[in-house]
Structure 1
Amino acid sequence: MIDFQISKESSLPLHVQLLDELRHKILSGQLKPHDQLPGEWELVNSLNISRATIQRAWQAAQDEGLLYRVTGKGTFVAEPRSRDSGRNAIGFIIPEYRGTFALALLSGAERVLRKAGYAVQFASTDREIGEENRILQELVNDDVSGIILVPARGSLYGRVLASNELGVPIVQMDRPLSGIVLPCVASNNYMGGLQAMNHLLELGHRQILFVARPHLDLWSIAERYRAYQDSLRRVGVEPLEPLLLGGDTELSSYDAYLQQHDEEVEPLLERLQQNDRPTAIFAVNDWMALKVYRAVELLGLKIPDDLSLVGFDDLDIAQYQNPPLTTVAQNANLMGSEAARRLLALIEGEEVLEILTLIPTKFVLRGSTAAYI
């Protein structure tokens, strides 16, 4: 029996959780082409969810080309699109396949690369530097034309990238590594952080807390935190100490949120019960914002009456919260396509003058913020 992990305690719709689980199992190789999925009624009983939920997830997966149906026989894993090795192939390495953000990065890059005549070889590092090294070397041995890489978290130490001897064009995406000069395409995280903070400041908030996992060394997170600090100091307010939830291991935010026994929320509960509790929170991403929703509910408080909240990413789940989450949208699809264009330019021998290409973010106003009176 295939084990699909979904949680009814999550605010993420069940069909989205199921689709993410399926996508992860297929793209990571746990499910092989032509493997048959359990029947719908079997999943209804094992997962205790409705048949309509399963059908909705499977239809979305079929639309993505992940599944196919055979009348009278069932639902099966589709053959992957051509992944030819050699000089007509591009490697695409990403920490994980879960979530709509990762899918949008993949989709944006693949569209540009396929139009240029390249097949794409996808691989996930599971956020491990050792696995990243292995995949990079494997792709080089396969003689790919180039590689797009979202690096696993960590320093340059111990990475094959540090040798500069791979002999293949590489473009980083989302998070440039410190200490190595490689083109990178990323969101303008600093500008996005300013957009979030300016909104809260304009509403009159000054006691604003930054909530994140303990990954402030990660470039994208560091840029958002820098925007938080600069915004407050600009109006003469000393920033609060950030509230860092969870351990130092780089779990995906998705996995961190879905943990059912969520002890990570305890420090947030304690902070929100103090007399000098913040009037607003800038969450490092939408998944962390969902932890804030959970903590506020446990304390019997209300968003935005008792606490204003802004997230970052604009994942699909943001609009489904109660109230809907005000956040900063990243254009992951454009990020992927721009990274692909930069890589194609390198392959053609063009000089890439712009090492860091920043993709604009967009502020998305919904219902989780209110004026501080």
Structure 2
Amino acid sequence: MAGTGDRPRPGGKTLAVIAAEAGVSVSTVSKVLHDRSDVAARTRARVQRLLAQHGYPARNGPAATALAPGGFVDFVVDEIDGAWAAELIRGAEEALDAAGMGLVVSAAHGGGGSPARRWVDSLAARRTLGAILVVRELGQAQHRELLRLGIPFALISPAEEPPPGVPWVGATNWPGGLAATRHLVGLGHRRIAVIGGPPQRLASRARVDGYRSALEEAGLAYDPELVRHGDFTNEPAYRHALDLLRLPDRPTAVFAGSDQQALSTYRAAAALGLRVPDDVSVVGFDDLAFADWVTPRLTTVRTPLADMAALAAGMVLQLIAGERPASLRVEVASELVVRESSGPPPGRAARP
């Protein structure tokens, strides 16, 4: 026998039908109906709208208060420009908009003065309800000040291991580096270079560690001459790619720690009269929109940046509501996307 919660309301629909419309399970709809906290903010808002449309009463608990219209959350990012930041901002904005809240975006490192001090002061001045932080540094002083001000916050892809009790969302970077390098090994490459981000950053270290693990798994020696570190952006990667591709025994493939670095490798190859992937294969990381537009289309490791930001927004909304997120550390799965920039090494035919 069906439970009473699944009976149709006057003029409404059963929870099973609402679940189908929302693209979720009946148990998820039930959790939202009974104000359970373990539902992502974007999903909760979608289900709440359908419940309201079909005659189910709104909840009045703390989670409902946090999602009530009005108020805003800050999104603080080191650099606003660029496709990477745009994807994160899109995900956070969509999740908060679905919850009836606004998003204020600011750059942590623009202008003069002390950037680390300035963005914390800005949050206090705006009386924000919460903050999503994508910053290179969350020092002890900043952490203490956020706690003193009572500003709930969550981090996205933190540069270092966050302080205990700080919620954060990241990607599975080590498996991503492993998958990218395994793909190149499987194509027959034996001299595979890597251009990573700053070695002190968690994500960069994990991606390079995944690369190294794939080499060891394949019985290939780790060659420090084939390892470079940049800052995930274009110019340092371009210089590193030129250096690598000018080596007497140059690599036949480059695993780049970001899509921007991958495009810089394209540029360096072209400057040296090399073709991608005929002379050198290239694999990126992130799967930004342009990865499917460039020629050749970029093989890369997809990280669902918008979903990561939506999860961080959900954590902040839970904290605003006085709830503790079900998990303080969430890693979203990365996925290798094979396109046209990777192929067998020169002189080796593609496998049938």
Q: TM-score, structure 1 length as denominator? A: 0.67
Cα drift, residue 268 of structure 1: 3.2
Contact 2:252/2:281, CA 8 A, preserved across alignment = yes
Matched, 1:103 2:86: yes
Counterpart in the other structure of 1:80: none
Matched, 1:347 2:330: no
Q: 2:190 aligns with which of 190, 206, 216?
A: 206
Matched, 1:271 2:254: no
Unaligned runs of 5+ in 1: 1-86, 258-262
Q: 1: CA distance between counterparts of 2:163 and 2:99?
A: 28
Matched, 1:371 2:307: no
The aligned runs of 1:308-323 (5 Å cut-off) are 308-323=281-296
Contact 1:212/1:284, CA 8 A, preserved across alignment = yes
* Residues 219 and 245 (structure 1), Cα distance of their counterparts in 2 relative to 1, 3 Å cut: closer
SS in 1 for 2:86: helix
Cα drift, residue 301 of structure 1: 1.7
Contact 1:232/1:239, CA 8 A, preserved across alignment = yes
SS in 2 for 1:306: coil
Q: 2:256 aligns with which of 283, 291, 306?
A: 283
Q: 1:136 aligns with which of 88, 99, 120?
A: 120
Matched, 1:161 2:143: yes
SS in 1 for 2:286: coil
SS in 1 for 2:84: helix
* Residues 269 and 145 (structure 1), Cα distance of their counterparts in 2 relative to 1, 3 Å cut: closer
* Residues 371 and 126 (structure 1), Cα distance of their counterparts in 2 relative to 1, 3 Å cut: same
Counterpart in the other structure of 1:224: 207
Counterpart in the other structure of 1:124: 107
The aligned runs of 1:254-269 (5 Å cut-off) are 256-257=234-235, 265-269=238-242
Contact 1:108/1:336, CA 8 A, preserved across alignment = yes
Q: TM-score, structure 2 length as denominator? A: 0.70
1:315-335 deviation digits (Å, cap 9, x = unpaired): 222223332211112211111
Cα drift, residue 245 of structure 1: 6.0
Cα drift, residue 267 of structure 1: 4.8
Contact 1:286/1:314, CA 8 A, preserved across alignment = yes
SS in 1 for 2:161: coil
Number of positions where the alignment pairs a residue of Structure 1 with one of Structure 2: 273
Contact 2:283/2:342, CA 8 A, preserved across alignment = yes
SS in 1 for 2:150: coil
SS in 2 for 1:352: coil
Counterpart in the other structure of 2:51: none
Matched, 1:359 2:332: yes
SS in 2 for 1:312: strand
Unaligned runs of 5+ in 2: 1-69
Matched, 1:178 2:161: yes
- Identity rate of aligned residues, in percent? 31
Contact 1:176/1:184, CA 8 A, preserved across alignment = no
Q: 2: CA distance between counterparts of 1:295 and 1:102?
A: 25
Cα drift, residue 264 of structure 1: 6.4
Q: 2: CA distance between counterparts of 1:200 and 1:291?
A: 19
Cα drift, residue 212 of structure 1: 3.1
SS in 1 for 2:104: strand
Cα drift, residue 126 of structure 1: 2.7
Q: 2: CA distance between counterparts of 1:211 and 1:138?
A: 35
Contact 2:193/2:244, CA 8 A, preserved across alignment = no
Q: 2: CA distance between counterparts of 1:270 and 1:346?
A: 48
SS in 1 for 2:194: strand
Cα drift, residue 361 of structure 1: 1.8
